[in-house]
Amino acid sequence: MSAGRLGLPGLGHAPEGGGRYVGGASRRDRAKGLAFQAVLLFSVVIGFVTLIALLVDVANDGLGKLSWDFISSFPSSLPSRAGIQSPLVGTIMLMVLVALFTVPIGVGAALYLEEYADKNRWYNRAIEINIQNLAAVPSIVYGILGLAFLVRGLELGRVLLAGALTLTLLVLPIVIIASREAIRAVPASIREGALALGATRWQMIRRQVLPAAIPGIATGSILALSRAIGETAPLIMIGAIVFVPFNPTSLDSAFTALPIQIFNWTTRPQEDFKLLAAAAIIVLLALLLTMNAFAIWLRNRYQRRW
Amino acid sequence: MARRLTSSKKRYGETLIRLALMACAAVSVVTTVGILFALLEPTVEFFREVSPGEFFTGTDWSPLFNPSSFGVLPLLIGTLSTTLWACLVALPFGLGAAIYMSEYARPRTRRWLKPSLEVLAGIPTVVYGYFALTFVTPLLQDIGLPVEVFNALAAGLVMGVMVLPTVASLSDDAMTAVPMALREGAYGLGASKLQVSTRVVVPAALSGIVASFVLGISRAVGETMIVLIAAGAQPTLTFNPYEAVQTMAAYIAATGIGDVPTGSIEYKTIFAVGATLFAATLVMNMVSIRLVRRYREVYE
């Protein structure tokens, strides 16, 4: 690309200064530079200001309702007695199930794509583009998939297993993408060394590549899980919206989850329920924050730079 | 005499593992095929009962009323309207934040700034919905805008903040991939930082920036909870940001809550609207993926 096409000042223009000008920049140009920088700073700040406003708003509404009683009581039609025990237990059970399903499949798929797949084959390229695309499919569409195939097609009904499987499909692409990055970061010399010593391909992966990639995989998986437990729309579609004043006991029991309960309370006209929603949001955000902090700690503690 | 370098005995275990891992990768393909099938069959059945002409050009969406009407335009306009407001926030400020991170911030600042901004993308959308309904709408009323309790404006603006980190993060990736030599060349010709940013780096990273925009728009189009909570449930054909609208995703969710019987026409509308939404986001995602590949090919 020529300088002219990029709109640079060509010959005949006086050199304009900015950050590290040599000659004198006109006052107007310096003002322009400063104004631009102010606009950029504003762009960065607007996100954080919103975040702070959101946190303050939720804390204002919800902190008063937050108590041990609130966490240990079951949902109720009376705002004064309602709590989040069954939604919280439901969310934790969903999280465990989604982790059990996604991590093996996601890591397996990532290993295949990074260690085995021949990138020149059309089907491997198709799988790759497919995963990128799946990561951007709206979550409500996964809900439709869950409704049509799991709830109605396989006749699982509106149960915990259907919810966990729907969320698994939703976050699988994220786990695959994160795991691939972690696996790719393991240098080729490690693989070559193992193979040169007579290891088979799987021995090389099992004993060298996987152990080295585990911190990255774990970090990515935890972040994906935190996405899963915040999802509401797919669970609405598979019908987790019903009033469930008991904890799920097995894969085929009815269930509810924190985001569902928050949505439910938010849409009630009574002001008291909105405050309960805010209190439940605090619990959900605290859970997410813990998971994210753990993921970051894991990354900083165990990640190796080669 | 040279010995063959292949292993002397067949290792069936290795083949088995390879197949098992391949099966894991195939799950993603099965998911896509599943989505296509789940949407296609009821959609075809839907269009046996309702003509595509009525669906795509009709201006009245009232599938539950008698007589019912199946014009999807109100839902499309509702989606466009909330998306437009989201774009007004997410695209300029997302790009601004990206320019700041890649061109102005020091490497140390950038290292914590980017993940902190991404925190915004990790907040559950139901929480954003609550925020839009209980904070942003009253705020808009306080500053004198005649907004209804449910309105497109508050939902759209909050959606914009949700999408902002996606745009910022991807645009920043594209801009940091621009080779240093281009910047140095421009500085050498006497350009200011403002000029280098806006006339060298942004044009050079344009395909990546456009990709981030397209992906951001796709996110906004498919976003459900914010609009479901804060934009209302009335499929009105209006671009007025102060009024309640219903988007495609919000309609699907609202109908999903109602536990409609399998096989009924209401049940099929979920899939017809879902197929429309899926097709729209699919096209945008493919465009975005293509564009990202292009800048990767040029600079990496």
CB < 8 Å to A155, chain B: none
A-B contacts (CB, under 8 Å): 302
Looking at residue A262, its amino acid is I
- Substitution target in B33, B45, B110, B126 with the highest count of A β-carbons within 10 Å is B126
Q: What is the mean pLDDT of chain B?
A: 89
Q: Which residues of A94-129 are buried (b: 16+ CB within 10 A; e: fewer)?
A: bbebbbebbbebbbbbbbbbbbbbeeeeeebeebbe
pLDDT in tens, A76-100: 878 878 888 889 999 999 999 999 9
pLDDT in tens, A253-291: 888 899 999 999 998 888 889 999 999 999 999 999 999
B47 found inside a domain? no
Of residues B236, B218, B226, B216, the one with CA closest to residue B78 = B236
Touching check for B258 and chain A: CB below 8 Å?
no
pLDDT in tens, B110-160: 888 888 888 888 899 999 999 999 999 999 999 988 888 899 999 999 999
Q: Shortest CB distance from A6 goes to which of B24, B203, B215?
A: B203
Contact criterion met (CB < 8 Å) for B193 and A19: yes
Contact criterion met (CB < 8 Å) for B192 and A19: yes
pLDDT number for residue B186: 94
Distances (CA, A) of A161 to A67, A85, A149: 30, 19, 13
Q: How many independent structural domains does chain B possess?
A: 1
Here the CATH number for the domain that contains residue B221 is 1.10.3720.10
Q: Shortest CB distance from B120 goes to which of A41, A47, A201?
A: A47
B43 found inside a domain? no
Looking at residue A284, its amino acid is L
pLDDT in tens, B241-254: 888 899 999 999 98
B158 found inside a domain? yes
B35 found inside a domain? no
- How near does any CA of chain B get to the CA of A89, in Å? 18
Written as six digits, the tokens of A180 are 């691939």
Q: Shortest CB distance from A33 goes to which of B92, B182, B193?
A: B193
pTM tops 0.90, yes or no: no
At residue A21, does pLDDT exceed 70? no
Contact criterion met (CB < 8 Å) for A288 and B124: yes
B95 found inside a domain? yes
B59 found inside a domain? no
> For residue B225, what are the domain limits?
69-299
Task: State the Cα–Cα distance between residues A201 and B14, nearest whole angstrom.
Answer: 7
Strand partners, B62: B69
Interval A165-194 mean pLDDT: 93
pLDDT number for residue A3: 40
For this complex, say whether ipTM is above 0.95.
Answer: no
* DSSP secondary structure code for residue B258 in this structure: T
Task: State the Cα–Cα distance between residues A213 and A207, nearest whole angstrom.
Answer: 11
Distances (CA, A) of B241 to B82, B233, B236, B252: 8, 14, 12, 21
